[in-house]
């Protein structure tokens, strides 16, 4: 009988032990766990003047180091957002950036349509040079071009190669540079870009040494009008031609002084 009582006592202890574990498990299951809960932001980016979807516009939450780019229909999706209130930045070359403060709840998807206003195009100052001065500058630029080419820190297209491709579009010539990608904007313009640090973005463009601060349509010029092309990864770009923030690579274009 003593053995029976001892056995029943042990069964009671085990039963109470399992009940306690079950209650603890139920409590943990019922309690909200915010550490792993995340939010999602999806939507689209359009031009506010024409309602045209903007391709490759950047949508980012800088403080979380999260970002996304719009597709050809202007749509984007950003996941893994920690719940909270943050500044969301939307930007696209040629448009005024927009900053919006947004709140994200755990396990919720927020939909938002952004509209950007075109930024005014400020044309660079044009210097009118006397023929002798222009010729001297052309010689100096050609010498510097050849010097940089000799160092081997980039991709170069020479005057002879450009003249041979004079009947082709600029995109045909730039396709020969392995790191160059192209983006076709809603306006029909074709913009050169590259891929760096796992993301694609526009290349910084210099035309005859002048920085271009808008989305430059590479097909607005012809190979026959140029005497040299240089392309550099951002880290290899010469100090005279640095890439601005949010650009991938540097494209330097040199026009001919006279026809061949």
Express each pLDDT in 93-107 by its tens digit. 778 888 899 999 999
Looking at residue 121, what is its pLDDT?
54
Residue with tokens 């939010």: 39
Other CB atoms within 10 A of residue 140 CB: 10
Within this chain, do residues 178 and 251 fall inside the same structural domain, yes or no?
A: yes
Express each pLDDT in 158-201 by its tens digit. 999 999 999 999 999 999 998 898 988 877 889 999 988 778 88
Residue with tokens 């983006």: 183
Within this chain, do residues 151 and 245 fall inside the same structural domain, yes or no?
A: yes
Name the nearest CA neighbour of 85 among 103, 99, 100. Answer: 103
For residues 135 and 152, give the distance between their C-alpha atoms in angstroms, rounded to a whole number: 26
Within this chain, do residues 59 and 162 fall inside the same structural domain, yes or no?
A: no
Q: What is the CATH number of the domain that holds 82?
A: 2.60.40.1120
**pTM listed for this prediction:** 0.51
Looking at residue 126, what is its pLDDT?
52
Top pLDDT among 82 and 91 is at: 82
Within this chain, do residues 100 and 140 fall inside the same structural domain, yes or no?
A: no
In total, how many domains does the chain have?
A: 2
Q: In percent, how much of the chain has pLDDT > 90? A: 40
56: domain range? Answer: 39-116
């Amino acid at each position: 009988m003593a053995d029976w009582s001892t056995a029943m006592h042990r069964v009671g202890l085990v039963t109470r032990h399992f009940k306690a574990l079950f209650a603890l498990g139920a409590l943990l299951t019922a309690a909200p766990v915010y550490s792993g809960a995340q939010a999602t932001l999806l939507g689209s980016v359009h031009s506010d003047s024409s309602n045209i979807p903007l391709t490759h516009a950047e949508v980012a939450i800088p403080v979380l180091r999260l970002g996304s780019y719009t597709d050809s229909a202007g749509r984007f999706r950003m996941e893994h957002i920690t719940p909270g209130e943050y500044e969301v930045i939307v930007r696209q070359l040629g448009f005024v950036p927009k900053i919006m403060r947004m709140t994200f709840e755990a396990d919720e998807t927020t939909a938002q349509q952004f509209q950007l206003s075109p930024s005014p195009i400020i044309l660079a100052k044009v210097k009118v040079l006397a023929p002798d001065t222009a010729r001297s500058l052309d010689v100096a630029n050609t010498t510097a071009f050849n010097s940089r080419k000799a160092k081997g820190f980039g991709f170069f297209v020479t005057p002879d190669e450009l003249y041979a491709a004079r009947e082709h579009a600029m995109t045909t010539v730039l396709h020969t540079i392995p790191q160059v990608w192209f983006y076709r904007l809603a306006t029909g313009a074709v913009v050169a870009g590259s891929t760096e640090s796992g993301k694609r973005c526009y290349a910084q463009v210099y035309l005859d040494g002048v920085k271009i601060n808008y989305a430059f349509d590479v097909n607005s010029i012809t190979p026959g009008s140029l005497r040299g092309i240089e392309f550099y990864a951002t880290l290899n770009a010469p100090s005279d031609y640095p890439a601005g923030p949010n650009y991938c690579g540097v494209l330097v274009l040199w026009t001919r002084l006279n026809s061949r």
